[in-house]
Every structure is written in C-alpha cells, then in structure tokens.
Amino acid sequence: MDFLPLAITNYSDAHTSPESELLQRLNRNTHAHIMAPRMLSGHIQGRFLSMVSWMIRPRRILEIGTYTGYSALCLAEGLTEDGLLITIDQNEELEDFARSYWQQSPLNSKIDFRLGKAVDILPTFTETFDLVFIDADKRNLSTYFDQIIDKVRPGGFILADNVLWSGKVVEPVKSSDLDTLAVLAFNEKVHKDPRVENVLLPVRDGIMMLRKRN
C-alpha cells in the first residue's frame, strides 16, 4: 500500500535510479505469472534496500521471506566480495522461479536459498549477520526478532517490512485480526527494547529500521 498521493509516488519513481533490466523483468513476470504480486518489494523499496546494503557493505545478510527473489537481488548488490545472503522461504513452488532469475545475475553465487519454515531454520544459524530483512508472515514478527537479535552483530541492522500494515495500525482493531495485532505488538516491542534504536519509515507499507546498539 502507498500512503502518498499517486502524483508524489510517480514523481519519486521518476527520480529514483531505475531497476536493472533483470529486476524489471522479474518484477513484470511476477505480476504476470505469480499469485499475490503485491508482496514483491518493487522499484522504490528495492532501490532503498540496495542503497542500505551499499551503505553498510555487509558480509552476511539474512532475509526472511524470499518470494520471487526480487529483494534478495537488491540486498545482495552491496555485499562485500566474500559476502553471502541467506534467504528463507517455506514456499517450494517459488524456488525454481526465483533461482531462474538469480542465475541470470552475477550475484547468483552470493545467494543461498533455504527452504522451510523460518522459525525452524533461524535457530540453526551460528553466524553473525550485519543486516537482516524480515519480510514473511506477520504473526511471527516478534518471534523472528527474538530469534535473530543475538545473531546480529553489535552495530548491525534489522529491517522489517509492512509495519504500517496498510494503515491498520492506526485503526480500531478487532481481537480476531491476529495479523494487525502481531504488527502492533512488534512495533511496541522493538520501540521499547533498549538493545536497539529504531526509525519507522513510512515508505511503501512501512519499514521498521533497527540498529543494534554497540
């Protein structure tokens, strides 16, 4: 969801570096052939993720929620020479589609896909991450934060997507709306957590940016 007027969104689009031809094709073909294409980060958010990655120059990135592999390609752009991005998704039907685009990129060898439920895979990691992008099911947002916070290096960053949840975070919420309740709980939790500093950016559907204190 976009919170800005369409004219402002279009102006921002027009004044943001364009997607590569590969990302453009992946974006277009996700919209043409894959269910729920709104899940794809898209042009501006993709360039934002790339920019963050270039600013940090991470050696290890963790992504929770691969979908068709668009954000993985964007985040991998800023990796160091020996860098690696691990990306997790439980949907095996998307794996071949995502891989077919990664294979057309020089970044392919830096992307390590893990199939399965994130809650099961996260505890198996022994490495330390410089940057984590959380973009999977919202009900586990707080669980993912708890599972990875000790695996983020001091001074490292976590980004969580969709934290404005189409604006539902500021509307009356029903007790049956477990997704909105989970997003609200996550935003409160990390905002109060003394281990991190945070900025809630109203970009696209809202990105929570966290920096783990040194």
Ligand X SMILES: C[S@@+](CC[C@H](N)C(=O)[O-])C[C@H]1O[C@@H](n2cnc3c(N)ncnc32)[C@H](O)[C@@H]1O
81 or 96: whose CB is closer to ligand X? 96
Let me know the angle formed at the C-alpha of 51 by 48 and 66, rounded to the nearest 5 degrees: 60
Q: Does 136 bind ligand X (CB under 6 A)?
A: yes
CB of 162 to ligand X, least distance (A): 7
89 or 130: whose CB is closer to ligand X? 89
Q: Does 205 bind ligand X (CB under 6 A)?
A: no
Helix axes 6-14, 43-56, angle to 10 degrees: 50
CB of 190 to ligand X, least distance (A): 19
By CB under 6 A, the residues from 146 to 185 that bind ligand X are none
Q: Which residue has the tokens 């996260």?
A: 122
Select the span of 3-11, 15-23, 98-106, 130-138 touching ligand X (CB under 6 A).
Answer: 130-138
Stretch 26-45: interaction string toward ligand X, x if CB under 6 A? -------------xxx----
Rg over alpha carbons for the chain, rounded to the nearest Å, is 16
**Structure tokens belonging to residue 186:** 């996550």
Of the candidates 4, 26, 181, 195, the residue with the CA atom closest to the CA atom of residue 104: 26
By CB under 6 A, the residues from 91 to 110 that bind ligand X are 91, 94
Helix axes 95-102, 21-33, angle to 10 degrees: 160
Q: Does 137 bind ligand X (CB under 6 A)?
A: yes
Q: Does 70 bind ligand X (CB under 6 A)?
A: yes
Using CB atoms within 10 A of its CB, is residue 188 exposed (0-12), middle (13-18) or buried (19+)?
exposed
Pairing state of beta strands 152-161 and 207-212? antiparallel
Using CB atoms within 10 A of its CB, is residue 166 exposed (0-12), middle (13-18) or buried (19+)?
middle
CB of 41 to ligand X, least distance (A): 3
CB of 92 to ligand X, least distance (A): 9
13 or 197: whose CB is closer to ligand X? 13
Binding-site size, ligand X (CB under 6 A): 19
Chain contacts with ligand X (rule: CB under 6 A): 39-41, 65-67, 70-71, 88-91, 94, 117-118, 135-137, 140
